[in-house]
Amino acid sequence: MTINNLQLPSIKSSIVCLLTVALTISCQTLKPTGKAAGNKSNKGYYEDLSTYRPNSKDLLSDNRDLKNTVEDKPNDKKMNNRGTRSGGITKDITKSLEEKMNSIAELSQEIDKVDGYAIQVYTGTNERQATMAKGRAADLMPEAKISYSYEALNFKVRVGKYFDRLEAQKDYATLKKSFPSAIIVMRKFTINR
């Protein structure tokens, strides 16, 4: 045997031992930090988020726009019709509530279109086929409003005005039998006041 043959197994065993020790050290669990370090039962991650939580004093100061009035009526402790005591501290928000309702009413007056759905039964360049599709759709659904339009080199025939897709689904199933290429499309409908 030569010297190289004697040293080779000992070098291999040393490398295996070092890798085993390194693997064992790297697989050790980490100790939790922060307040949870003293608590041995909590072995998970811990982070103190109390600085990010809202404080009740901050919330009260942020609601300055509601201008609630507090009235104290200590002598009016009669039973009301629900069997509970009336009186005590009450918050009157009538004025701010009326202001909010009025602003919502003003905004709704400005809205002149609403999102909705229609069933498109025909789209194409042939005006005669579009007219025939409109007639067949009117025969299948006489109570529905049928729109016929020409947009960007295409004739389009659409049936109905629906506020949600589920509402349009029943009529879509009926029309799909006669119009295999029918689809439900989103539309903006003008509000008639």
Q: Can you give the residue ranges of every domain in the chain?
A: 113-190
> Is the pLDDT higher at 65 or at 22?
22
CA 179, 191, 116, 178: dihedral to nearest 10 degrees?
-10
pLDDT score for 118: 94
Inter-axis angle of helices 165-178 and 127-140, nearest 10: 110
Asked if 184 and 172 count as a contact pair (C-beta separation under 8 A), the reply is: yes
pLDDT tens figures, 78-127 = 555 555 555 555 677 888 888 888 888 888 777 788 899 999 999 999 99
All residues at 6 or more sequence positions from 150 whose CB lies less than 8 Å from its CB, including other chains: 156
> Is the pLDDT higher at 27 or at 60?
27
Residue 49 identity (one-letter amino acid): L
Question: 113-190: what fold?
Answer: Alpha-Beta Plaits (3.30.70)
pLDDT score for 70: 45
Q: How far apart are CA 140 and CA 175, in angstroms?
A: 7
Q: How far apart are CA 89 and CA 34, in angstroms?
A: 43
